[in-house]
Amino acid sequence: MAPPLSRRSLLQAAALAAATPAITHAATGRAVAAASEAPSVWTAQPFALDDVALGPGLFADKRELMLDHARGYDVNRLLQVFRANAGLSTGGAVAPGGWEGLDGEANGNLRGHYTGHFLTMLSQAYAGTGEQVFADRIATMVSALTAVRSALRTDPKMLAVTGRFGTAQENVRGSYQYVDLPAAVLGGASAITLSAWVKPTHADNWARVFDFGNDTTKYLYLAARNGSGVPRFAITANGAGGEQGLNGTAALPLNQWSHLAVTISGTTGTLYVNGTAVATNTSMSLNPAALGALAHHWLGRSHYSGDPVFAGAFDEFNVWSRALTAAEITMLQNNRASATSAGRGTLASYDFFETTGGTFADASGRGLTATLRRTWGGPSHPGFLAAYPETQFIQLESMTGSDYTKVWAPYYTAHKILRGLLDAYTATDDDRALDLASGMGDWMYSRLSVLPEATLQRMWGIFSSGEFGGIVEAIVDLHSLTGRAEHLALARLFDLDRLIDACAANTDTLNGLHANQHIPIFTGLLRLYDATGEQRYLTSARNFWGMVVPARMYGIGGTSTGEFWKASGVIAGTIGGATAETCCAYNMLKLSRTLFFHEQSPKYMDYYERALYNQVLGSKQDKADAEKPLVTYFIGLTPGHVRDYTPKEGTTCCEGTGMESATKYQDSVYFKAADGSALYVNLYSPSRLTWAEKGVTVTQTTGYPSEQGTTLTFGGGSAAFGLKLRVPSWATAGFQVTVNGAAVSGTPVAGSYFTVSRTWKAGDIVRVTVPFRLRVEKALDDPALQTLFHGPVNLVARNSATSYLPFGLYANAALSGDLLPTLTPVSGKPLHFTLNGTEFAPFHEGTEDPTHAYFRRSEPEVVFGGLDSGVANPVESDGTSLLDEIWAGAPFATKSALVARVQSTVDSWVAAGSLTRANGQTVVNTAQQATYVS
């Protein structure tokens, strides 16, 4: 392995690379890189999504529900926020809402993230199914984003639409565009008329038709809507408190042309709406001349930074150096000014007849050409691509505390877009997607590489605002495609040293941290280790995983409460209605998978199975919907919780990752040893693997988890390798393997891999039997609070009660220790059982039933084989009961072995004074008399 590269050496190398053109392929222009090669340090490698086809079953059914959404959703709605930001036509598309639009949480400060998720979903869907519709949708989105970046690279251009008289200039909502008029537009007039045709498209209060002034002290403006929703003209030399105003009486209709005019003459000001005077003020002491020279003369923009930019269209804007009469203003309702007795404005007159370019001619004869501009100027680098201005990124650099209403995780959003583009490139080989992704990398490097180290550390430590998701992983992947040193240097600029160093030292500092802000950091660190060889990255990721699993893990595999972590080992004490954020499970799966590439510890795939088969599958509602992905945000583990599959109006982070999860269920079923010596079968899932290098196929046929086992059939040619079958850590009831009907020698060990090595040939059949047992898992901080598992499947009680339900499970426990005989199977419903009148069902079923993931264990009486001894089940101070200690000795080969365990345990408890001798004898007699299943 090459020696680790320091951040300084990477930056130096990047500076040199930035000055050197990338080497490109002559035919495609693509930067030379071995993109398909796994990192050399990976001792196990994944298969591509299109190498593994899902077979019929639970995963295929869930995926099909999401594919319906992927096929049916109008991607132009996702692109609306990007096109608007670039000042392009949105074609009437309506943004999705929720977090994807200006009206969502925090003014839509996260918009654009969902488009990245959607691109990833489409890319995975295309790889997994080959359906052309997904490739076509990717192409549509990449084309649109290419046009958006191009538009952002240049000065804004007018968007011509049908006007009141010919053409008009449209300001798309979210474009941040306005018209800048020359300084002489008011001409120092003491009497004046300002007239405009407007067509508002959104009911934004305080959006300006015009605002002429210096700052928020001296100005005159006309707002299409004031705080009460009606037009308002105001003029002041002393700020808002000194405004002399005119207010309309009714709101302007949306999507209709309205004419507004203001006249000032002497001490009288009048506001006209559609030719009718609606307000008059005869006590005005201010006029343009009284304000003197003003610095800014804007159409559509306010001097108050918190006010929205006018959304809608402008037609004919005229300024006269006199007050028009009421009759003259009436004539303007149906005629261009030039066709009336008033004539064109004598100070300024804009027809907006232009259809291209970014300037507007003045027809007054004064030559006051107006210019279309952006409130934020424009990108600092031509690679910038976002659905909002660069201002969030700029503001973050000076922030010292969190305020997501101003800055909401801009690099997180950049990550989603970057990831989506990289996935689009991988899936469709569209060079435009890689070019967009590379440009984003160049832009981020140009911003971040010039910041002091202290600034970077402060930024990444800010909750929410500084969250950057999995951007490091994506940037390292970008570097693997471009080979450019500045991209690798960029990835290291996101190092949050205090977190990395603490985890590398195995010091747990997670209490109080936002879970999903930090989990994806470690997948990125693993990829940095791959690229740089720096050991602390690998060590910190490995140690971090151990701080979450199992110390902060709920039974379903999820983590976090209210998005945050509490102290290690506190499970029962953190259960609430906002438990187990779905994004956390998604990112823990990704981290577990990437750790497995470095060390093939079965614990990572045990966790993968747990979280995938339970939280991830259960987070998707079992319902098709073209408009919504129907994925949970939180999964509350409180008693009687009903899952919300359309949280926060939709389009949240968890719905985004949920779309991704549902289109890559096959990504970790199989891995291969880097040297080709072994095939890992990690998940028992109906699927078909094509291992091209070996020339073989492996078809896995199973109804798992309804079926307790699987069958693997080999096809193609012959190849020698070890077949490594994962023996789940819960598989303590026996794990058997046959090849072509013959049992394979060896003793499978739970929580390991069982290897069958041979030269495989077409027609070979491997049968794996994995008997399930019903078992409980106890909350670390409250052993009496338990959750129920049958094999890999978490079973939840369906009951509307809102307090923990008490259940006993030993009553009919089998000699094997299996608790299942205490439950009654539900006919015709696999994995459904009843106990005391309550139905238990798999967590993975995406229903809206009230559920209990945890219950209160209650074993008040000593019962064996359904026979009640009449003796109360004693409990020690640590919560361990007599029955707990007896059944801890399972499995029992015979009834006699169980009775012997009962006798020895009773003797111990009698000696300790925890049980009377008489009651102890009754317990032993009951155990002897009872009948047990094996």
Q: Are residues 746 and 880 part of one domain?
A: no
Q: Are residues 334 and 216 part of one domain?
A: yes
Q: Residue 592 falls within a domain, yes or no?
A: no
- Are the C-beta atoms of residues 148 and 86 closer than 8 Å to each other? yes
Residue environment code for 513-539, b if the CB has 16+ CB neighbours within 10 A, otherwise e: bbbbbbbbbbbbbbbbbbbbebebbbb
Q: Residue 609 falls within a domain, yes or no?
A: no
Give the tokens for residue 324.
């028009």
What is the 3 state secondary structure string of 667-732?
CCCEEEECCCCEEEECCCCCEEEEECCCCEEEEEECCCCCCCEEEEEEEECCEEEEEEEEECCCCC
Q: What SS3 class is residue 388?
A: coil
- Are the C-beta atoms of residues 309 and 176 closer than 8 Å to each other? yes
DSSP character at residue 648 = G
Q: Residue 316 falls within a domain, yes or no?
A: yes
Half-sphere exposure for 29 (CA within 13 Å, toward CB): 7
Q: Are residues 216 and 322 part of one domain?
A: yes
Q: Residue 921 falls within a domain, yes or no?
A: yes
CA distances, 676 to each of 642, 687, 730 (Å): 46, 20, 29
Provide the pLDDT for residue 25.
32
Q: Are residues 890 and 763 part of one domain?
A: no
CATH number at 757 reads 2.60.40
- State which residues form the domain around 872: 859-934
Phi/psi of residue 694, nearest 5 degrees: -95, -15
Q: Are residues 192 and 325 part of one domain?
A: yes
Provide the pLDDT for residue 104.
85
Q: Residue 874 falls within a domain, yes or no?
A: yes
Residue environment code for 662-680, b if the CB has 16+ CB neighbours within 10 A, otherwise e: bbbbbbbbbbbbbeeebbb
In 10 A of CB 198, how many CB atoms? Answer: 28
Q: Residue 366 falls within a domain, yes or no?
A: yes
CB neighbour class for 206 (10 Å; exposed up to 12, middle 13-18, buried from 19): middle
Provide the pLDDT for residue 879.
87
Q: Which of 727, 750, 769 is the last residue of a domain?
A: 769
Q: Are residues 866 and 742 part of one domain?
A: no
Q: Are residues 341 and 232 part of one domain?
A: yes
Q: Which of 787, 789, 821 is nearest to 804 (CA)?
A: 787
Provide the pLDDT for residue 18.
46
The H or E element containing residue 313 is strand 312-320
pTM: 0.94
Q: Are residues 863 and 763 part of one domain?
A: no
Q: Are residues 905 and 758 part of one domain?
A: no
List, in order, residues 6 or more apart from 252 with CB less than 8 Å away: 198, 200, 224, 225, 231, 258, 273
Q: Residue 134 falls within a domain, yes or no?
A: no
In total, how many domains does the chain have? 3
Number of separate helices (H) and strands (E) present in the chain: 23, 39
CB neighbour class for 92 (10 Å; exposed up to 12, middle 13-18, buried from 19): exposed
Q: Which of 855, 923, 917 is nearest to 886 (CA)?
A: 923
Q: Are residues 196 and 321 part of one domain?
A: yes
Q: Residue 183 falls within a domain, yes or no?
A: yes
Q: Which of 374, 393, 424 is the last residue of a domain?
A: 374
Q: Which of 319, 344, 374 is the last residue of a domain?
A: 374
Whether the CA torsion 471, 475, 480, 482 is positive or negative: it is positive
Q: Are residues 891 and 761 part of one domain?
A: no
State how far the Cα of 645 lies from the Cα of 225, in Å rounded to an integer. 37
State how far the Cα of 402 lies from the Cα of 771, in Å rounded to an integer. 51
Which parts of the chain sit beneath pLDDT 70?
1-36
CATH number at 367 reads 2.60.120.200
